[in-house]
Amino acid sequence: MARPGPRAPGPSAAPSRLAPLPTGDAKTARVRTMFDTIAPRYELVNRVMTFGLDRGWRRRTVAALALPPGALVLDLACGTGDLSRLGARCAYRMVGADLSAGMLAVNDRAVPVVQADGCRLPFAAGTFDGLLCGYALRNFSDLPGTLSEAARVVRPGGRLAVLEVDAPSSRVMRAGYDVWFTRVVPVLGGLLSDRDAYAYLPRSVDYLPPAAALRRLLLHAGFSGVGIRPLAGGLSQLLVATRGGEP
């Protein structure tokens, strides 16, 4: 269930000396270039940033689809293919889509992939039985449009499971999280990959609507039964929903 009330501002609340975060086409270009740059070491930095916890969260996300073997599932913003591989192990027929050519270049291509913007997917209506998405909501330039596209390509009665960052509600956990995410992660990212990208990623949490707003966006897009579950005390969150309409 979603936690009551709006989520506190993200740990990346930007001081005034920082340039405003990009929007629209400028954001799309920034996100594409950033992920092209960090693609070769993306999985390594993820493991380090989360102490490996993201692996379990990704497994829970795939399990939350609760679809039968053989279901056709889209991995939106598939990146290097973590969720696609897990879905394939559950006997789902996976297809990946990502904006970044760099990410797709390092994807092992164990499943079919296509380069595409989330708000303009090259699939017919009702193509998929389910949709997975990992840590990408805040990177879409048009989040309402992307969720509407997700609803369009998922059949009525199909399922959606999204893994995204969150902020702990505990003051003690939140203090440690803020230090780790806004100060340590950029340093680690600079050592292992690209410092500018991993300084931008914590700030990108500011793009993410609070839980109540996310629920409204999903409902408006055409999903029902929306659930939002905190993971590990709020380090991440899992959103699940069912595509409305008759299956």
pLDDT digits (tens, 9 = 90+) for 192-243: 899 888 888 888 989 999 999 999 999 999 999 999 999 988 889 999 999 9
Q: Is residue 11 part of a domain?
A: no
Question: In 3D, which of 146, 26, 127 has the Cα closest to residue 72?
Answer: 127
Exposed (0-12), middle (13-18) or buried (19+): which is 51, by Cβ within 10 Å? exposed
Q: Is residue 5 part of a domain?
A: no
Q: Is residue 15 part of a domain?
A: no
Q: Is residue 12 part of a domain?
A: no
pLDDT of residue 246: 67
Confidence of residue 245 (pLDDT cuts 50, 70, 90): confident
CA 241 to chain centre: 15
Domain range enclosing 128: 24-243
Element counts in the chain: helices (H) and strands (E): 10, 7
Per-residue pLDDT for 82 more than 60? yes
Q: Is residue 228 part of a domain?
A: yes
Cβ pair 213, 221 in contact under 8 A: no
Torsion sign across C-alpha atoms 237, 45, 177, 35: negative
We report the CATH number of the domain holding residue 107 as 3.40.50.150
Range from 37-51, 117-131, 157-171 that averages highest in pLDDT = 117-131
Q: Is residue 182 part of a domain?
A: yes
C-alpha to C-alpha distance for 129 and 159, rounded to whole angstroms: 7
Question: In 3D, which of 143, 162, 163 has the Cα closest to residue 220?
Answer: 143
Q: Is residue 9 part of a domain?
A: no
The number of domains in the chain is 1
Mapping DSSP to helix (H, G, I), strand (E, B) and coil, where does residue 24 land? helix
- The reported pTM is 0.89
Confidence of residue 174 (pLDDT cuts 50, 70, 90): confident
Average pLDDT over residues 53-69: 96
Range scoring the smallest mean pLDDT among 14-28, 72-86, 150-164, 178-192: 14-28
* 6 vs 147, residue with greater confidence: 147
